[in-house]
Amino acid sequence: MKVIRVDDYEALSKKAYEFFIHTMNTTEQPVFGLATGSTPKGLYELLVDEYKQKKQVFEHIQTFNLDEYVGLAKDHPGSYYYYMYERFFNPLNLDQKQVNVPNGLTPNFDEECERYEQKIAEAGGIDLQFLGIGVNGHIGFNEPGTSFSSRTHIVELTKSTMEVNSRFFETKEEMPNKAITMGIKSIMGSKEIVLLVNGEHKAEALKQTIEGNVTEDFPASVLQKHPHVTVIADTDACKKLQAQ
């Protein structure tokens, strides 16, 4: 596991952008795994700027999002499809065939999970997967206790995760309590993984990810077993690491 320490969030976003562009320009049909939330916003903004300045084209990429809330339509402002559409899909003028987000309104969740796994396989697997991390160590929506052998599945969100994510909804009551997420084995099948971590509130989680025991009680610890993981973390997030 390689750790790249940067000064601040701006530098973190820039370094993540460099990874994205390198993979896009060195892979014939690049497949990206994408995350939502506040951490990757800077990355998406930089990529949109590149497109607007006509420095890059994105017509040959394919994307798979990590997760989606159960029960939310694509046009719901709290859905992850809406988040990606507003910040990435639409500004880059991506075709619908290029983007993949789990269907939170599917009538059959088992079939949807199997379909998503099949789509990833048909694409040749994910070349570069971007991840964030929860304070409890979740990656995607794989909460503590999730099996390392899990594939795309339905999860019950923990109270702590719901409290953190409720800020994206007008009221706490609107916050869904379930989600579809790529499983840990699905994530670990990616050829390369970049974990983005910023802020002092993530320092303990980063320490456990890199220096703690590999255990299902802290899902991100499994990344120690992947051969090609890069952690990009700012100074505040690195405060508790042994090697300062």
- 2-198+214-234 has which CATH code? 3.40.50.1360
Share of the chain above pLDDT 70, in %: 99
Q: Is the pTM of this model over 0.85?
A: yes
**Of 103, 112, 127, 138, which residue is the catalytic one?**
138
* 47-94: pLDDT as tens digits: 999 999 988 889 999 999 999 999 999 999 999 999 999 999 999 999
Q: How far is CA 160 from CA 151, 177, 236, in A?
A: 23, 11, 22
- Report the distance separating Cα 119 and Cα 101, nearest Å: 11
3-state secondary structure of 154: strand
**Of 136, 177, 192, 216, which residue is the catalytic one?**
136
Residue 244 has pLDDT above 70, yes or no: no
DSSP character at residue 130: E
136 is catalytic: yes
* 186-214: pLDDT as tens digits: 999 999 999 999 999 999 999 999 999 99
86 is catalytic: no
Res 126: pLDDT: 98
67 is catalytic: yes
Residue 243 has pLDDT above 70, yes or no: no
- Note the helical H segments in the chain: 9-26, 41-52, 80-84, 109-122, 159-165, 184-188, 203-211
Residue 227 has pLDDT above 60, yes or no: yes
- Report the distance separating Cα 234 and Cα 9, nearest Å: 7
**Of 67, 68, 112, 234, which residue is the catalytic one?**
67
138 is catalytic: yes
Res 208: pLDDT: 98
Extents of the domains making up the chain: 2-198+214-234
Confirm if 241 and 205 have CB atoms less than 8 A apart.
Answer: no
